[in-house]
Amino acid sequence: MANSVDPPSSPHRQESALAPGLASWEGGQADGPAVGWEEHYWDSEPVAAGAMSRRARMSARGPYRAAVPARIANLTITLPPAVAAEAEDALMEIARFDAELTSALPAAGGEGQDEHGELAPLAAVLLRTESTSSSQIEDITAGAKALALATVGERTGPNAAMVAANVTAMQAAVAMSEDLSVDSIRTAHAALMAGQDYAAPGRFRTGAVWIGGMAPTPHTATFVPPHPSWVEAAMNDLIVFCHRTDVPVLAHAAIAHAQFETIHPFADGNGRTGRVLVHAMLRAAGATRAMTVPVSAGLLTDAGSYFDALTAYRDGDLTPIVTQFAHAAFTGVTNGRVLAEQLQGLYATWQQSLHARRDAAAWTVLPMLIRQPAVTVRWVADHARVSQPAAQRAIDQLLTAGVLTPASANRRNRVWIADDVTAALDDFAARTGRRG
């Protein structure tokens, strides 16, 4: 999580006088992504930051160092053969898993596809678990039930609402893969941070940010991303890199993600937006078609190593971040397969329990509950394209079959939930080490 303040007004190095184009960019190293450094003066009085010890106040005075990002548009990618081979194997596993899911469960919505164009509702489930995991890396937790309720408009607390917004942002990755640009990244951020004005949704930051240090100034931070005057040029350079076709796919996505996190272009939500970028790149490269492979869930199993890999990247070493992504892909796919098997078994049990005419709306709703385990009468009517009386009848039949239970005793704005699905999703989270 980054802190933010107004931009320093007196940089020790006069980079703010340079044009924000690549021609004037002097940061970084020619042979790797290592950041350069420049000093900025901190011109706010430490006392303005609140109560501080004398030692902390002295540490918060004077100049501090901020990164200058390397240019990577034409970066030469050199990886140890073993790491390159592991990344290629991981990519093959991602593609294999993606293909498996096209027939894992019956389609919701008719004609072999659901309303979002996915081939099976399980694809949307994995997108949701990936979104939850991506948020959890930044310590934003929400149980599966709370997330499902938030998705249908129930008030379940700010964390669930933030994770629900992350689902929307992950869905934006599909569109981003068709037109990967600075504007599409801003659009994804706007979806992710909607309603959170402090984060300036969809707009690059205008202030300094810093990571770690637990201090109200950047002087003791673990990492201080670039001054905002570098952000636009750095993002344009990143987009050029993202459109290259001469870099192995998983390494390409890992490096792009690490560079995005180094630039830290937004006031908040950079980690989640950067992981949306990963999925957009995997889809654009053809590695995935129907779903979001749970890479973030894999990263979460060893978040400390993930952050260490980002630090190594900023020091000029590509190997750790590519290795982390390869391991995350294997772990995420393994975990995803377990979830898929659980949901397939659950769906088979539902089919045996539901005693309704084959043309009843309940059968249309049944696979939708894998994707969206909390429903209202209005939701069922809208998504199953039936009248509200027919939607209520479908819910009643699913209630009798034990598929749904009331989410609460409140009969007004009644919500029903498929508890077995949320339990399976929480099991998935527990296997990644997440705690809701």
Q: 173: which residues sit within 8 A by CB, 6+ positions away?
A: 188, 276, 277, 279, 280, 283, 292
Residue 99 has pLDDT above 90, yes or no: no
Angle between helices 158-178 and 182-192 (to 10 degrees): 160
Give the pLDDT score at 427: 83
Please tell me the predicted confidence (pLDDT) of residue 346. 92
Is residue 385 classed exposed, middle or buried when 0-12, 13-18 and 19+ CB atoms within 10 A define those classes?
middle
In a 10 Å sphere around its CB, with 0-12 CB exposed, 13-18 middle and 19+ buried, how is residue 275 labelled? buried
Q: In which residue are the tokens 């909607």 written?
A: 194
More confident residue, 331 or 147: 331
Mean pLDDT of 346-364: 93
> What residues contact residue 97 under an 8 Å CB cut-off, 6+ apart?
293, 333, 336, 337
Q: Which strands form 405-406's sheet, in the order they lie side by side?
A: 374-375, 416-417, 405-406
pLDDT of residue 127: 54
Tens of pLDDT, residue by residue over 187-239, are 888 877 877 788 899 999 998 889 876 667 787 788 999 999 999 999 999 99
**Residue type for position 107:** A
Across 76-80, 308-312, 413-417, least confident range: 413-417
| Mean per-residue pLDDT of the chain | 77
User: Which domains, and CATH codes, for the chain?
Assistant: 81-336 (1.10.3290.10), 356-432 (1.10.10.10)
> Can you tell me the distance from the alpha carbon of 267 to that of 240, in angstroms, rounded to the nearest whole number?
23
Percent of the chain topping pLDDT 90: 39
Q: Is the pLDDT of residue 86 over 60?
A: yes
pLDDT surpassing 60 at residue 112: no
SS (H, E, C) the chain: CEEECCCCCEECCCHHHCCCCHHHCCCCECCECCCEEEEEECCCCHHHHCCCCHHHHHHCCCEEEEEECCCCCCCCCCCCHHHHHHHHHHHHHHHHHHHHHHHCCCCCCCCCCCCCCCCCHHHHHHHHHHHHHHHHCCCCCCCHHHHHHHHCCCCCCHHHHHHHHHHHHHHHHHHHHHCCCHHHHHHHHHHHCCCCHHHCCCCCCCCCEEECCCCCCHHHCCECCCCHHHHHHHHHHHHHHHCCCCCCHHHHHHHHHHHHHHHCCCCCCHHHHHHHHHHHHHHHCCCCCCCCCCHHHHHHCCHHHHHHHHHHHHCCCCHHHHHHHHHHHHHHHHHHHHHHHHHHHHHHHHHHHCCCCCCCHHHHHHHHHHHCCEECHHHHHHHHCCCHHHHHHHHHHHHHCCCCEECCCCCCCCCEECHHHHHHHHHHHHHHCCCC
Instruction: Return all residues near 399 (Cβ < 8 A) that are at least 6 apart.
Output: 405, 406, 416
Summarised one tens digit per residue, pLDDT across range 247-278 is: 999 999 999 999 999 999 999 888 878 888 98
Q: Is the pLDDT of residue 369 over 60?
A: yes
User: pLDDT tens across 280-304, in order?
Assistant: 898 889 888 765 667 776 776 787 8
Are 238 and 74 contacting, i.e. CB atoms less than 8 angstroms apart?
Answer: no
Q: Give pLDDT, residue 144.
A: 62
CB contact at 8 A, 126 and 292: yes
Nearest CA-CA partner of 262 in 19, 72, 135: 72
Q: What is the pLDDT of residue 225?
A: 95
Least confident range of 39-53, 263-277, 358-372: 39-53
Among 109-123, 232-246, 405-419, which range has the highest average pLDDT? 232-246
CA angle, 320 then 322 then 324, to 5°: 65
Decide: 292 and 275 in contact? Cβ < 8 Å.
no
CB 293 within 8 A of CB 356: no
End-to-end Cα spacing for the chain: 18
| Residue 145: pLDDT band with limits 50, 70, 90 | low
CB 88 within 8 A of CB 250: yes
Q: Flag whether pLDDT at 121 surpasses 60.
A: no
What pLDDT, on a 0 to 100 scale, did the predictor assign at position 326?
96
What was the pLDDT predicted at 216? Answer: 73
Cβ(329)–Cβ(249) under 8 Å?
no
31-40, 41-50, 234-243: least confidently modelled range:
41-50
In this prediction, residue 23 carries a pLDDT of 38
| pLDDT of 15 strictly over 50 | no
Q: Is the confidence at residue 166, as pLDDT, over 60?
A: no
